[in-house]
Amino acid sequence: MDKLLITGGNRLNGEISVSGAKNAALPILCASLLTPDTLTLQNVPALKDIGTTVRLLGQMGVHITQEGDNALSLAAGGVHSLEAPYDLVKTMRASILVLGPLLARFGQAKVSLPGGCAIGQRPVDQHIKGLAALGAQISIEHGFVIAKANRLKGASIRTDMVTVTGTENLMMAAVLAEGQTVLENAAREPEVADLAELLIKMGARIQGHGTDRIVIDGVDTLHGAEHTIVADRIEAGTFLCAVGATGGDVLLRNAAPDTMGAILDKLQEAGMAIECGADWIRGSMDRRPKAVGFRTYEYPAFPTDMQAQVMALNTIADGTAVIVENIFENRYMHVQELGRMGAKIDIDGHTAVVTGVPALSGATVMATDLRASASLVIAGLAARGETTVERIYHLDRGYERMEHKLRSVGANIQRIVREQA
């Protein structure tokens, strides 16, 4: 398994181009199943989860062509399999996103129950409940969700909790349903809105995306479209945290600052100087960060996917920060690893109390999930001495060539490729 070797202490200066958002690209790739026509996508990040989804769609019979760097075309005119098998789904929970489109267009689907990062129970029961409300007959047999429907019928659906993939799955199912569907308590994330924008380009009739009430009037068929994936707000936030921890001045290009309000607010509170244009963010830091507390909630509040990175910033901040994780249980696995580097963090249930220390010291640490691995990279960049981050396959699931981008702004970071035995 590859690992990263980081020598801390370098300030970061220069420009970084932000990739497309993984969490927008995954449902948008699955939306290709909704039409036999060609979907052309730009700004698709080159990530392991994207590769897994492309393989899954390819196995189903979707014809996929690489159109150059970060561009794909998908044509689902020859779909011959309506199954998502365990061997692909086990590494990535987002595979459940084929369920809605398959059911809507083909009237049946068989999808293995999902895997992914080990950060708590992300229930698929809300997907099942919503699809059943649209008229699907659903059973769980031998680890598979098996769904059938003649034609889905519009309904009013209120999920028990806000669920991003649930909202996406139900929205994709509803676009081809008969009549009107209203999704109440819908997720408001920019990635959900990006999927809706693509579906509208394909001929869907959707209103209210970006709010907690989405209204969808079903149509008979969808057609092909072209779409550019929205910028990754979490990747952008991660790089800004790195600058906050090391000091320096970095310009992020191809960013979407209007999707990042809560993140930018916290970084400014920590002492960063931030300037924004329509598609760029400049972050500079010339002092020790100030400790900033926060609570994670659904968008537009502070995102759980930035919790670990801002915690890393807090480990070397002036003062004490109280962090409350409200979205996932089991999402403090990075705390033990940060402790190996000298961080002072106390955990009590969903609450973490971080007392800043003057400096971290490099150590060998192990990534436990995607965002935790990013926090360890940030800590390593700011620490004294050498840090080795092991198990970075987690990092590769969500960050495109992270070490290249960091090296381009002055970080001393390299990938050690472990030879396969």
Residues near 390 by Cβ (< 8 Å), separated by ≥ 6? 1, 3, 364, 365, 366, 367
Reply yes or no on whether 276 is catalytic: no
Q: Which of 30, 117, 241, 276 is an active site residue?
A: 117
The residue assigned the tokens 């329509």 is 278
Backbone CA torsion sign across 115, 119, 121, 123: negative
In the sheet with 180-184, reading across from the earlier edge strand, the strands are: 156-158, 180-184, 213-217, 205-207
SS3 labels along the chain: CCEEEEECCCCEEEEEECCECHHHHHHHHHHHHHCCCEEEEECCCCCHHHHHHHHHHHHHCCEEEECCCCCEEEECCCCCCCEECHHHHCCCHHHHHHHHHHHHHHCEEEEECCCCCCCCCCCCHHHHHHHHHCCCEEEEECCEEEEECCCCECCEEECCCCCHHHHHHHHHHHCCCECEEEEECCCCCHHHHHHHHHHHHCCCEEECECECEEEEECCCCCCCEEEECCECHHHHHHHHHHHHHHCEEEEEECCCHHHCHHHHHHHHHCCCEEEECCCEEEEEECCCCECCCEEECCCCCECHHHHHHHHHHHHCCECEEEEEECCCCCCCCHHHHHHHCCCEEEEECCEEEEECCCCCECCEEECCCHHHHHHHHHHHHHCECEEEEECCHHHHCCCCCHHHHHHCCCCEEEEECCCCC
Q: Give me 86's structure tokens.
A: 């365990």
Q: Provide the annotated active-site residues.
A: 117
